[in-house]
Amino acid sequence: MELRKRTGMVFQKPNPFPKSIFENVAYPLRIHGIRGKTVIADKVEKSLRSAGLWYEVKDRLHISALSLSGGQQQRLCIARAIAADPEVLLMDEPCSALDPIATKTIEALINELSKTMTIVIVTHNMHQAVRVAHQTAFFYMGNLIEVGAPDKIFHNPEHQQTLAYVTGQFG
């Protein structure tokens, strides 16, 4: 339970709750026992700002989160995931269902958030890994094959399997 409190999760497909925008972001705060209305309102605003969504929704916090676009829903899910100030943010293919503009926004957000928390991203998009990763790991069939800086992994890998993957021989 303690580990889960310190970990935020964002999934491949946006999964907003069938609640208002405000209540989606407030949810983790409430389940962690935070009850103060002012504290919750401040954290919701801070999280939506951090996720780059505040100015788009600040006048519509009471509407259903399901009415947002796909990119907005994904940023809402990120806001929800960071509302309780996690130490680690796990992201599974966070941009796979998004258009290039929404992807650029999410990647900029990842780069900003990485200044204050550890972010672990699962992605099959090698270009995205190069753009956002500080460290890259290549796994194959559940085995860790190689770990290193993105430049090393993508331009000078040590292992043949890594080289075959990054050059498009499989995958």
pLDDT in tens, 53-68: 999 999 999 999 999 9
Which residue in 47, 32, 37, 44 sits closest to 2, CA to CA?
32
pTM: 0.87
Domain that holds residue 128: 2-134
Query: What does the pLDDT look like over 16-44, one tens digit per residue?
Result: 999 999 999 999 999 999 999 999 999 99
Which residue in 65, 86, 71 sits closest to 22, CA to CA?
65
**For the domain that residue 77 is a member of, what is the CATH number?**
3.40.50.300
Query: What does the pLDDT look like over 71-103, one tens digit per residue?
Result: 999 999 999 999 999 999 999 999 887 888 888
107 is a domain residue:
yes
pLDDT at 5 over 90: no
170 is a domain residue:
no
Q: What is the pLDDT of residue 140?
A: 93
171 is a domain residue:
no
Total number of domains in the chain: 1
